[in-house]
Structures are given as structure tokens and as C-alpha cells.
């Protein structure tokens, strides 16, 4: 435990950390469980946890105030908001809470591991609108971080040329995507996938059904190209997008079953999206 952790433990004293108190309520625990699987709108969370919208909104506000979830307006429907769990914050708070109870319970983060070799190589599809930035970055990161053990591709509902800032931000990470081709999602409509991740609220609304009934996950990530009017000014937004995608992908890879189709996960995701 470092000095910051020791100081936190001393400050807690006999009171449970705020993180523990937040998680202690069964509705908030259920909400966080659902958000670890996919970003969700309030209406979806209301259906998934079986509680009224007013109650769900109340508990989401507490989780947001506690820094465990964030929300942003949907780019597809401005009347809707998507909620996202801050997995890094939850991990750090959980580690600190363990150390506050006893030094031996200061948890060590799990490192990502490749999928089990006894299974066929899983297939993952990333979708966004233009296939020019977010999904291209995600494809490259998952391929790199999984050591090539996952067959990953990307596409868009309205493909555009590859954004130069996407190339630039990945080159800074030692990954060259300059020769990547942008593709329409129709190119993959009849193919088998274990996991389909939509990165754009708009493309989620038009995501087709796939014959293999893959697990469907949504990550609500703002298009970095909209952050500014010039490539130079929008580059920091591309860096933030790459950082967010890397964080999400690293957490995805800590679960060996996350990229494999499971009937339970598929039914839950499909049911919530309707």
C-alpha cells in the first residue's frame, strides 16, 4: 500500500468508505452490474432491474454523484441519455476499500489474458457511423492487446475515409492503420460473430440482426472528429477516445468469456435494446 492509500485508510477510521455504502443498496448494485455489460439508457435499466423509472433515476443520480457512473446525451436521440460505469474508478475504490478493512485485503488488479486456447478463436465486430475513427481504433487496439488471439474487424453504417487523426493517434502507440480500408456494415451482415460492439448511438439504432446471434454490447463514445473544426484542434479528443477504448478493451479482456457468445448474454442484450 502506498502513502496515499495509507492516508486514506487512516481517514476512514471506523466508518465504511462511501464506495461501500453506495454499493450496499441492492438496486444500485444491480445497476452497476448491468452497466458492466453495456452502456444503457434509463428506460433499459428500468426494464432490466424491474423498478420504476423514478427510483432508477434516483439511484443513478447517487451513483453519478459518487463518481461511479457518468452520463451523456444520446447522439441519436437528444431526449435520451446513456449511462456508463467508470470501471477504473470502481476498481480503484474497491482496492482502497479492501485495504481500509485490512492491509492484507488491498487488492491487486487482474492483468488481461488471452482467450482460452481450447476454444475457437472468437470473432468481434466494432461498429460506428463512419468507420473512420472510433471503430478503426478499437479494432487495432483489440487485435494488439489480445496478441492476435481474437479475430476482430470493424465497419460503419455510412463509411467515410479514414480520419488522419485516427492514423496519427495509433501511430503514437506504435500501431500503423494507415492502409486500413473503411467498410460498410452490410459487408459483415451475414457473417458469424461472437460479439458485436456498437460505439455510436446512431449506429446502435440501425444495427442489423446477425445469423449467429452474437452478444450485443454498446459503448456510447462521442465522435472525436466533432470536437473541433480542424484536425489539429481535434487531435486531443482522438487521444482521449483512444485512451477510453483501451481502458474498456483491457477490462473486456480480463473476462475470458466476454468475447464468446453465450445465450444468456445475448438474450439480455437483445431484450434491453428493443
Given a cut of 80, whether residue 266 has pLDDT beyond it is: no
Write the CA distances from 189 to 127, 155, 214, integer angstroms.
12, 10, 12
Given a cut of 80, whether residue 81 has pLDDT beyond it is: yes
- Entry pTM: 0.83
Contacts 24+ apart (CB under 8 A), 262-265: 262/215, 263/213, 265/37, 265/215
Give catalytic status of residue 90 as yes or no: no
| pLDDT at residue 100, rounded to an integer | 74
pLDDT digits (tens, 9 = 90+) for 162-192: 999 999 999 999 999 999 999 999 999 999 9
Catalytic residue among 49, 128, 221, 272: 128
- Does 123-273 match 3-105 at the fold level? no
Domain 3-105 has CATH 1.10.10.10: yes
How many CA atoms within 13 Å lie on the side-chain side of 145?
A: 21
d(CA 269, CA 215): 7
Catalytic residue among 185, 200, 242, 249: 200
| pLDDT at residue 259, rounded to an integer | 74
Q: Which residue has the higher pLDDT, 219 or 8?
A: 219
pLDDT digits (tens, 9 = 90+) for 131-172: 999 999 999 999 999 998 999 999 999 999 999 999 999 999
Catalytic residue among 42, 62, 177, 207: 207
Instruction: Provide the CATH topology of domain 123-273.
Output: Rossmann fold (3.40.50)
Domain boundaries, given as residue ranges, for the chain: 3-105, 123-273
pLDDT digits (tens, 9 = 90+) for 96-121: 887 777 777 766 665 555 545 556 78
Amino acid at each position: 500500500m502506498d502513502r496515499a492509500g495509507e492516508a486514506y485508510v487512516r481517514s476512514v477510521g471506523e466508518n465504511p468508505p462511501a464506495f461501500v455504502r453506495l454499493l450496499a443498496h441492492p438496486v444500485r448494485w444491480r445497476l452497476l452490474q448491468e452497466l458492466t455489460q453495456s452502456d444503457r439508457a434509463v428506460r433499459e435499466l428500468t426494464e432490466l432491474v424491474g423498478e420504476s423509472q423514478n427510483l432508477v433515476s434516483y439511484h443513478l443520480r447517487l451513483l453519478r454523484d459518487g463518481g461511479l457512473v457518468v452520463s451523456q446525451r444520446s447522439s441519436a436521440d437528444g431526449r435520451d441519455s446513456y449511462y456508463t460505469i467508470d470501471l477504473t474508478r470502481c476498481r480503484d475504490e474497491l482496492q482502497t476499500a479492501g485495504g481500509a478493512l485490512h492491509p492484507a485485503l488491498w487488492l491487486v488488479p487482474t492483468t488481461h489474458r488471452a482467450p482460452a486456447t481450447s476454444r475457437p478463436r472468437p470473432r468481434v465486430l466494432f461498429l460506428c457511423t463512419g468507420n473512420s475513427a472510433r471503430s478503426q481504433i478499437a479494432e487495432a487496439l483489440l487485435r494488439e492487446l489480445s496478441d492476435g488471439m481474437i479475430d476482430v474487424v470493424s465497419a460503419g453504417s455510412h463509411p467515410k475515409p479514414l480520419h488522419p487523426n485516427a492514423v496519427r493517434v495509433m501511430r503514437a502507440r506504435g500501431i500503423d492503420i494507415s492502409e486500413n480500408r473503411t467498410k460498410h456494415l452490410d459487408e459483415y451482415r451475414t457473417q458469424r460473430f461472437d460479439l458485436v460492439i456498437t460505439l455510436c448511438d446512431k449506429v446502435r439504432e440501425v444495427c442489423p440482426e446477425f445469423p449467429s446471434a452474437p452478444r450485443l454490447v454498446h459503448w456510447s463514445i462521442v465522435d472525436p472528429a466533432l470536437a473541433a473544426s480542424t484536425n489539429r484542434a481535434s487531435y486531443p479528443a482522438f487521444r482521449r477516445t483512444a485512451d477510453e477504448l483501451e481502458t474498456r478493451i483491457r477490462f473486456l479482456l480480463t473476462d475470458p468469456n466476454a468475447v464468446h457468445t453465450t445465450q444468456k448474454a445475448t438474450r439480455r442484450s437483445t431484450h434491453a435494446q428493443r
